[in-house]
Amino acid sequence: MSFKNYKALLLFFVLILFTKTVSAQQEFTLYHMSTLAQSSNLNPAVVPEYKVSVFFIPSVFGGFNNSAINVKSLLSPDGTVDYNKLINSLDEKKNYIGVGGKVEVFHVRFKAADNFFSLSSQVVADVRLNYPKDFLALPATGVAGNYSLSGLGVDMNTYIEYAAGFTRAKPDSKWTYGARLKWLNGIANIQTKKSEIDIQVHDDDIYSYDVNANMLVNVGAAVDGNKYKTLEDLSNIEINNFRDAWNEYKPNNGMAVDLGGTFQFTNKLSFGASVINLGFINWKNFKQNYHVDSHFSVEGVTADITPDTNLDSLFNAQVDSLVQAYGDEFKDGVDTSYNAYKTWLPTQVMLSAHYQLTPKFRTSASLFTEFYKGVSIGTVVGANYRFGRTFDLTATWWWFRKSATNLGIGMVFKPWFGQLYLVMDNVLPATLVKINDPELEINNLWLPYEAKNFNVRIGMNLVFGRIREASRLPVDGITKRKNGRRKYLYKPAFKH
């Protein structure tokens, strides 16, 4: 039995499908939930439902998305795993995996006259893996030929965001507008600035490789670069308590801005636009630049496999052997410098239209654009229904990056002074299928057939001073009304 890089392929596949690290995600459903103060993170011009909103249970977000890999791309008609089908479904140069997380540390938003002010802080983590088709084709086939891994790289960014927001909503104006200024403290970063990797597999008995790599990878961290010089130094940091962490913490600073506006076209139809994450982080404390210019050959391996062979032990032994044999040769082509560098946040632009069909039922559509190593465009349609004063339900259907089976659900429960919410993107896995593959020792494993993405956000706000005046939201109207000395924020009565 030939080894045929079987374990290598399985390792790559498991890494892609089940990675647990924490990437900037697209929260399409939250954008359409204007009753939540957190929706102002996506459009700072959103007018909330209450005069005061304070976090009670921190808002926690986590998500995963990828461009091509799902169960559908892996299964053959008989229910077994077909790697060739997966390889053929990939784009030649641009495939991606993204995983992300956000934890809201603090937020408060309050109304003063015709204005809303907000203060907030959150921790953001973003990891993105970009890879070409040959990244999986090489271990899957292992046949002689030329393979290009150019474009392969990891971008990881973790930072703390401190934000101050302002929204202006005059009763006699069709326009509302808002902005959020953000001070960023960079914690950790990996930036693949350049990636050119070519591999030639020779047609011999042991499938030897020629590797040519030309790369630039930047690494930054929130520690003193004069005290810690290498990644090995970082691994030796001892932190036993909060004081130790605070003494070691040397953030890398940056700035960003979010801008937004809405326009009330008619009593029922309104439009919105926002630009978020327009900013950068300068990595000036611990910073390292790895310039890779390596050219070396790798002798292949042979393995005799019997029914009693432990494949895990065999694979690990072969990998250890190759690393020991060629690791030093690769390192000879790596030069390290210590220059500061800048990373830009993935800027997002959103355009939307909202139509109030009834006082309780609203529909919406939006266009989403993200600028990250190119331009990605998505579209979303949504609907929101209010079940009295205690429950709101939002549903969205969105298309983004070759994925169209994406149903989002947002629920807001409003007991007393609380506002408990759960927001999920891609809760509909289309169909579930059962996988049986004796070779992989998989029996009766049920998985979603077409799902490529999943996001979830959960939290609870304390809210006070529900705006009961005629029309508290821009989508409800434009005409100014007065009752004695009191100004109503917007016009048509929002009936329950």
- Per-residue pLDDT of 77-122, as tens digits, reads 666 677 777 788 788 888 888 888 999 999 999 999 889 999 999 9
- Overall average pLDDT of the 440-462 stretch: 75
pLDDT in tens, 222-242: 988 888 877 777 777 777 777
> Quick check: 373 pLDDT over 60?
yes
- Report the helix count and the strand count for the chain, using DSSP H and E: 7, 23
pLDDT at 472 over 90: no
Strand partners, 379: 367, 399
Q: How far apart are the first and last CA of the chain?
A: 71
pTM summary value: 0.79
How confident is the model at residue 446, as a pLDDT? 66
Between 418 and 163, the higher pLDDT residue:
163
Count CB neighbours of 414 within 10 A: 21
User: What SS3 class is residue 44?
Assistant: coil
Q: What is the pLDDT of residues 173-220, one digit of tens each?
A: 899 999 999 999 999 999 999 999 898 888 776 667 888 889 999 999
The C-alpha atoms of residue 200 and residue 162 are separated, in whole angstroms, by 48
Burial 272-286 (b: 16+ CB within 10 A, else e): bbbbbbbbbbbbbbb
pLDDT, mean of residues 44-53: 89
Per-residue pLDDT at 437 exceeds 80: no
| Cβ–Cβ < 8 Å for 128, 88 | no
The pLDDT assigned to 17 comes to 37
Residue range 9-28: average pLDDT? 43
What is the pLDDT at residue 349?
93
Most confidently modeled of 133-137, 179-183, 345-349, 402-406?
A: 179-183
**What is the predicted pLDDT for the residue at 5?**
40
Give the residue carrying structure tokens 């703390």: 160
User: Quick count: other Cβ atoms within 10 Å of Cβ 346?
Assistant: 19
Name the more confident of 205 and 7: 205
Q: What average pLDDT score do residues 355-367 get?
A: 91
Average pLDDT over residues 309-318: 65
Confidence of residue 429 (pLDDT cuts 50, 70, 90): low
Q: What is the pLDDT of residue 400?
A: 64
Beta bridge partners of 459: 421
